[in-house]
Structure 1
Amino acid sequence: MGEDMPLLVAVDGRCGSGKTTLGEYLKQKFDCNLFRMDDFFLREEQRTPERLAEIGGNVDYERFRKTVLVPVVQKRPVLYQPFSCQQWKLLEAYWVPYKKLNIIEGSYSMHPYFENPYQLRIFMNISPEDQIANIIRRNGQEKAKEFQALWIPKEEAYFEKFQIINGAIEIMWNLKIKNNKR
C-alpha cells in the first residue's frame, strides 16, 4: 500500500466497552476523521421485519458504505448525514474534509458488507458485569433493560456469526463510564 493511501481503523465491540471514548481520544490525539456507526441506524421505512431479523441488519450499512467508505477510499470529502435516534430522522448533512487517518467507531463497523477495508481492526471487550454497570450509568436502568433484551443479543449474534473478533486487536478496559451531562 502506498504512503498516500488513506488509513482506516475500525473500532467495533460490545456496547459499554469504551468504543466512543477510544474514538474520541484518537480523534483528538491524531487530528483524524471520526465516523460513528450510531449515525447509521435504520430509518423508519427501512425497519422491515426481514431487515430487523437479519443479523447485523439493524444499521444502514449500504448508506454507510456509499456515503463514507467509498469517498474516503477515493480520498474525497464526505457528505456526512447522521441519523438521530432521538428525532427518528436524518439530520442536516455537512461536509467532512478528507484526512489520511479515519476512525470508524461503533458496533457493526466490521460488518462483512464492507469487505474489510481496514488497515487496523480493534475489538473493544468488557465483562458482562461491567457492561451492564456502564450502560446503567450511561443510559439509566430502564434503557439498560432494553439493551439486555434487544441490543446486546443482536450484537452478540453479529459477533458470533461473522467472527468479528478474529483478526482484530482485542482491548479489554476496566472502563467505568462517567455520566458527564453537558
Structure 2
Amino acid sequence: MRSQRFFNDLAEELRELPEEVRIIAIDGRCAAGKTTLAARLVKELGGDVIHMDDFFLPPALRTPERRSEPGGNVHYERFLTEVLPNLRSGRPFSYRRFDCSRMTLGEEIPVENNGYIFVEGAYSCHPVFGDYMDRRVFLDIDGKTQEERIRKRNGEDRLQDFLQLWIPLEEAYFQTFSVWEKADYIIL
C-alpha cells in the first residue's frame, strides 16, 4: 500500500513537469527495482527507457586504473556521445546496446524522444553527465533482500561476482559522488 501511494505521488509530480522532454534518472543499488520502476512509469506516463546496462564497460576499457575510478564501471564516454546530446532535442535517435553475451556492441535501440525519458540504472546520475535530468530518483535496498533478489535473478554463482566486485564498485560511486544525498526522491 505504501509503495503504491508513493508511486502514485511520484507519477503525479512527474506529470506536472513542463511539457517538453522530461528526463528522469533512476539510480540506486543493484536489485533495488530500478528497471521495474522505469517500466511502471512508462506504463503509467508513456515514454522511453534508456538502460545504463546497455553501456556496460567493454573489456578493452577494464583497466586497473578504470576500475579504481569511482563510477568508472560504465562506458560513460559512449553515453556522452550517443545519448546525452540527443536527450533534449525532441527528435528520435538511437544508440547501440552492449551485448554481454558477445562482449561487443549489439543492436540499435530506438528512442522516440517525445515525452518522458527514463534513464535507469546504476551510474545514471554520474557527475560526468552534468545536470541533464529533471528529476533524480534513488532506489535503496537492504543487504539481505538484495542478495536474495540477485540470487534469484542471476543464480548463486553470479551472486559472488556481485558481492565481491559489482556491489563494491557501485558503493564507491554512491559514496564518492553523494548520489543518495542529491536525489529528489529516495525509495527505500
Moved over 3 A (4+): 2-5
Hey, which of these two has a bigger chunk of helix by percent? Answer: 2
Amino acid paired to 1:36: H
The residue aligned with 2:56 is 41
Match of residue 76, structure 1, among 91, 96, 103: 91
The residue aligned with 2:118 is 103
Q: TM-score, normalised by structure 2?
A: 0.86
Q: Which runs of 5+ in 2 are unaligned?
A: 1-16
Match of residue 163, structure 1, among 160, 171, 178: 178
1:30 aligns with 2:78: no
Alpha-carbon distance in 2 for matches of 1:103, 1:95:
14
Amino acid paired to 1:151: W
| Equivalent residues, number | 171
Q: TM-score, normalised by structure 1?
A: 0.89
Cα deviation 1:86-116 (Å, max 9, x = unaligned): 2201002243222221000000000000112
Aligned Cα RMSD in Å?
1.4
1:9 aligns with 2:24: yes
Equivalent position SS for 1:103: strand
Alpha-carbon distance in 1 for matches of 2:147, 2:88:
36
State the shift of 1:147 in Å: 0.3
State the shift of 1:75 in Å: 2.0
Cα deviation 1:104-155 (Å, max 9, x = unaligned): 0000000000112111110000111111111111111110111000001000
